[in-house]
Amino acid sequence: MFSTIEPSFIDDLVTEATSRKNIFGVVLAVESGDNSLSYISAAGNLTTDEPYFIASVTKLYVTAVILKLRSENRLNLHDKISQYFSDDILHQLHVYKSKDYSKDITIKHLMSNTSGIPDYFSSAATKELLAGIDQSWSFDRELTAVKQMKPKFAPGQKVQYSDTNFQILGKIIETITEKDIHTTFKEIIFDELQLENTYLYEDPKDSRPSTFYYKEKKMDRPNYMSSIGPEGGIVSTAKECMIFLKAFFNGQFFPKEYFDELKEWKFLFMPGTFFYGVGIANQPISLKDFKNGLIGHWGQTGSFAFYHPKTDLYFTGTTNQFWGQRIAAQMMAKVIKQLN
């Protein structure tokens, strides 16, 4: 099946994508599970080896670490976060209808975006970034902002995408490993996979990652990007994201049988229309096959890392545009259609 695709087809897809409004650079890597197909192409102001902000694709890396710690019996997904935080940190973190649920939230609630903890990024942080204000958002600043927001439901009742959840997961990882998240990512993932161009962005003076865009404007926000760590702070390349993605789905970090537990799909309307499971997303590519879509994660920078089980295809790359997911989804869908 995989021999039917021509490299020029991927080249044309990527070139066509850069002709779209406000898409200045695209990179797309496609590989089959058996490696009979392996291709990468770039166009516009990106190259195939260009490092870029993977943004919320970082959450897959957090999921890998959490599940590895679980496989080592160092945590349980049903652990309450009160095991890892002091009362003053949790105080009024989640108050819904006059009841404080802060100590009832579990690791699984955080991973599945069912904690009910508001998303700090959906309010002040987004407005700041789009207005050109580049500020650091520390963990303490995020919690302060969140405690001033009103949760929409009690833990486990509904689903709401919240970057705050993964910041909290990052702190839990640091508590368990007794190492900062930078060191944990490096030891468990980056060094394990021998990734040379993947790292946690922490230095605002680091100009290696390509700048992403919001519409026609460059989003040069080094202070913010260096402060968000487990929520979205990893820099990588399409090639090295592919190495991680395959390792993630092929049992290198945790037993493959865990995946059945992760597929508790709940539909989200924001920040896009897709399903969210436990630390992973499911992006439908057709109405006919609504729940059997691409499994992986989006990044707000237009980055993506997805596996399509039905065709055994893996996709990584970026459109480097703040709202560039739709065009990325179209490219992946066209590749899948070409091979069916």
Note down pLDDT in tens along the chain; length 340 residues. Answer: 445 788 899 999 999 999 999 999 999 999 999 999 999 999 999 999 999 999 999 999 999 999 999 999 999 999 999 999 999 999 999 999 999 999 999 999 999 999 999 999 887 788 888 888 999 999 999 999 999 999 999 999 999 999 999 999 999 999 999 999 999 999 999 999 999 999 999 999 999 999 999 999 999 999 999 999 999 999 999 999 999 999 999 999 999 999 999 999 999 988 888 999 999 999 998 767 666 799 999 999 999 999 999 999 999 999 999 988 999 999 999 999 988 7
Q: Name the token pair of 191.
A: 């060094």
Contact 280, 295 (CB under 8 A): yes
d(Cα 174, Cα 177) in Å, to the nearest integer? 5
d(Cα 190, Cα 196) in Å, to the nearest integer? 8
3-state DSSP assignment of residue 266: strand
Count of domains for the chain: 1
d(Cα 277, Cα 114) in Å, to the nearest integer? 10
Residue type for position 304 = F
Would you state the pLDDT for residue 232? 97
Q: Which residues are CB-neighbours of 72 under 8 A, at least 6 positions away?
A: none
Q: Of 61, 75, 71, 62, which Cα lies nearest the Cα of 255?
A: 71
Would you state the pLDDT for residue 290? 66
Identify the domain containing residue 18 by its residue range.
2-339
Contact 137, 120 (CB under 8 A): yes
Instruction: Output phi, psi for 74, to 5 deg.
Output: -100, -10
Question: Which helix or strand (DSSP H or E) is residue 325 part of?
Answer: helix 325-339
| Half-sphere CA count of 172, side-chain side, radius 13 A | 31
32: CATH? 3.40.710.10
d(Cα 289, Cα 267) in Å, to the nearest integer? 15
Would you state the pLDDT for residue 128? 85
Would you state the pLDDT for residue 1? 45
d(Cα 263, Cα 291) in Å, to the nearest integer? 10
